[in-house]
Amino acid sequence: MDLLPIDNSQIAKKHGFRSLKLVNVDLDQEFQHQPFGVDYGRLDNGLTYYVRSNPKPRLRAALALAVKVGSVLEEEGERGVAHIVEHLAFSATKKYTNHDIVKFLESIGAEFGACQNAVTSADDTVYELFVPIDRPELLSQAISVLAEFSSEIRVSKDDLEKERGAVMEEYRGNRNASGRMQDAHWALMMEGSKYAERLPIGLEKVIRTVSSETVKQFYKKWYHLHNMAVIAVGDFPDTESVVELIRTHFEGKNSGPDPPIIPSFPVPSHEDPRFSCFVESEAAGSAVMISYKMPADELNTVKDYRDMLVESMFLHALNQRFFKLSRRKDPPYFSCSAASDALVSPLKAYIMSSTCKEKGTLQALESMLIEVARVRLHGFSEREVSVVRALLMSEIESAYLERDQMQSTSLRDEYIQHFIHNEPVIGIEYEAQLQKSILPYISASEVSKYAEKLQTSCSCVLKTIEPQASATVDDLKKVVLKINNLEKEGSIAPWDDEYIPEEIVNIKPDPGYIVEQIEYSNIGATELTLSNGMRVCYKCTDFFDDQVLFTGFSYGGLSELPESEYFSCSMGSTIAGEIGVFGHKPSVLMEMLAGKRVEVGTKLGAYMRTFSGDCSPSDLETALQLVYQLFTTNVIPGEEEVKIVMQMAEEAVRAQERDPYTAFANRVKEINYGNSYFFRPIRLSDLRKVDPVKACEYFNRCFKDPSTFTVVITGNIDPTIALPLILQYLGGIPKSPEAIFHYNRDDLKGLPFKFPKTVIRDVVRSPMVEAQCSVQLCFPVVLKNGTMVEEIHCVGFLSKLIETKIVQVLRFKHGQIYSACVSVFLGGNKPSRTGDVRGDLWNRLILLWMKWYIFKKKGLQIRMFQLCLKSSREPMKMDCRLNFENYYWLERILRSYQSRIYSGDVGTSFKIQDEGRSRVRETLTPSTAQSALRRILPYPCKKQYTVVILMPQASRFKLLRSLFKQNAPSRDAKILAAIAGGTVLAACLWRYSRKS
């Protein structure tokens, strides 16, 4: 193979993908083990390191400690210990105690939370940090934290006892319908191997009772520096200094003299397929999964890489067929897809999964098996493969053009895979050359041959999931036998494809013209008013070479409809989407857009109707053509499309009725919003009243008048190229002869809801397979119109402060929760420039904490806010530096147009919002934060709130008896933590006392 030298000059960077030179392909050429573009080596103590300079994002570093130790290494009495070690790492080490590591991360604005900083799998454990490096000492301290994880995690009895509660909360959180189904499928797939009984979460008995000595022995045995790598990718001025920091913090660490040999645990193959009919009463719906297991691939040579491309093409082509089948008359399933997945170190699988109607699993299974057999018999057509080839070529072109904008976290993840799985890192420039050289020569017949690997005699596992049993294992076996016989007889017909038009727009419109143009220098944006009345604001950026984002909005949405029309019209987007809102059926449009990076969608909201898109600069014309089609296409409902939509909607409603957490969330909405028709879930009785003609008529009217829309565009736009396209396809949208949906935002109706004026307490009792408990408390929020800008920023900051403190108290001090969430909902307010904003703040387990810490003890208030402010101000600064990218600018400009303070000048609106945020940030102190909480939330808080508790269906006396049997928490814990025991019992007694 001709390995071309990489030219990093500015001239070379400007060369497009199409001028990229090809390489002479030698299939036997081996990839170098040395990863591309990184300072890579090993310290004397065995630690491997990877260090790379990367400017995206600026002044940030993505760090990781990868450890080749996972749950499969556990003995029977250690099941769950690998995960416990991961938890203990953030609790205390030799150098950092009392969750000082978490406090450090929060103080510098780095994220900490569930699955954000570490993940334990069957084969490995990875610790990840994403930190600012604007001060030199921060990088050094972050690397020292990873060094502590490597060999200095403290595993004392007290540390373990404090962390058991958080681990148990994570364990319980996984015992829902989805978790049970995943666990059962894992055991079925791994049957006969140690992996089958080594899920990372472990066993409840081990989590509750394992000794600190057992945990310590596991940690000392397996956490050897030879089995670890530290990865650092960030905006470093040089890599040598970072390598020296790694040496400084890691060279003094020593493991045992001989690194333990990591054993391999093979997963046995089987010729006879395995069958399972899993019945899960809380399942979201009926589904079918077919898995074909095989040894994991090795990627060592160019031939291996070529095989990987062939596999990718096969899966893409198969998925195209699955999608088309799901949109045909009487489809066998609602959705179906195939993918390749590396399950564990020695094993990968091709997994096909589908969702289908109730009692439709056998039909779905038959269709999936027939389609694979059809490929074996007749293959894919040249056109099918050419569509896939264009798609893959477009993806690699986009990656190549954005190679200089690659994020540090993505590069870090590549080096983690290199260390853990020995995957080569060859660099995007060479990979683009290689893929461009290989793809044109992969034939349809070669892609089709991949179907030979998907035989039911090749370690196949077939599984159905149903809320109520209908299929049996014998039924599944009969389906497999039937399809095998049809294939042997050659009785499966070839694929019948549909006609694909050449052009999205058959007759290009006459372009419009610019009526007015305004430059906003403070945001670097240009606003155009077009001849048809549409307003377009664009901002040219260079964050990504191959990205353009846009969103168009218009005031007036579902909030303006009477209740009698609401349910029909709310289905407009869904029904129209199935028919095709861009002038072509979705299955046809999918192929028309192959090879193009274009995504466009629509949404009908409460007060606005919107369309949005994401495309490359070269595909901007295609994206704008789709918008033109949106405004000029009349969607007419057909019987089959409507039938499919309503079947899917009915299945979704039934799934919600089975899910206890959905019932819980629905009851919260019912109480907080007065059972408003706009917020309550759609019922089966509502669906039966839906008029599809009225739904499509409403959708058509929403996107008929361009003069009501404002469009914001951000990205790599060349105005000399983009403006003519904007004028032709946006300016060329015909202006409606009469006003359609011309709403003044100040006159829009408010949604029909009011937060209760008193205290309301309720318990939702739901049938559950495994007992779960959840508590949600909500407080009304009122933001005064005169200080709206500051208040909106303030309530967001305060939510983060409260959430941070809850985690500090309830997790780190008392070990009672895994994570906490505080959210503010203001979405029910009309966008009028007058009147106050009303909403609610909700979270779990907050009531007693707020009463005690915020409104009672002044000394505790000051200390609490000093801690929280120290950790919250840094994230504010970090956000300001990090988010100057296309999505950020799109969102900020949209908000400026939609802001209550907007009065015709988006630059001024933007400026006022920025100044309001700065004032809040600069003036936020313990006393001002307390005043804000009292002002925004009802004070004292005990007079107006709602508390809703989810409980399993059980007798009252059994519930009380089980609660009293639990260990009584300390006095401080009772005061500080509104956790399940005390809060649930109190809430139950409140409710029962009201009835007596």
Return the active site residues: 86, 163
Question: Is residue 636 within 8 Å of residue 578, measured between CB atoms?
Answer: no
Exposed/middle/buried for residue 52 (C-beta within 10 Å: 0-12, 13-18, 19+): buried
The kind and range of the H/E element at 288 are strand 286-295
Terminus-to-terminus CA distance in the chain, angstroms?
Answer: 85
Give me the amino acid identity at 283. A
Instruction: Of 43, 106, 419, 435, give the one whose Cα is nearest residue 248.
Output: 43
**CA-based angle 713:614:322, to the nearest 5?**
160
Give me the amino acid identity at 737. P
How far apart are the C-alpha atoms of 669 and 948, rounded to whole Å? Answer: 10
Question: Is residue 578 within 8 Å of residue 637, measured between CB atoms?
Answer: no
Residues 18-47 as b or e (16 or more Cβ within 10 Å = b): eebeebebeeebebeeebbbbbbeebebbb
Alpha helices, DSSP H, located in 152-278: 157-173, 177-189, 204-209, 212-222, 240-250
Q: Which residue has the tokens 């155009």?
A: 528
* Sheet of 274-279, strands arranged across: 274-279, 460-466, 286-295, 347-356, 335-344
Token code pair at residue 623: 């994206």
Question: Is residue 526 within 8 Å of residue 538, measured between CB atoms?
Answer: yes
Give me the amino acid identity at 636. I
Instruction: Of 685, 689, 453, give the one whose Cα is nearest residue 566.
Output: 689
Let me know how long the chain is. 996
**CA-based angle 390:392:395, to the nearest 5?**
110
Which residues share a beta bridge with 460? 292
Cα–Cα separations (whole angstroms), residue 645 to 40, 353, 651, 696, 702:
54, 20, 10, 13, 20
* Sheet of 228-234, strands arranged across: 39-42, 48-53, 228-234, 60-67, 125-132, 118-120
Dihedral sign for Cα 594, 595, 597, 598, please.
negative
Which residues share a beta bridge with 926? none
How far apart are the C-alpha atoms of 99 and 735, rounded to whole Å? Answer: 62
Pairing of strands 228-234, 48-53: parallel
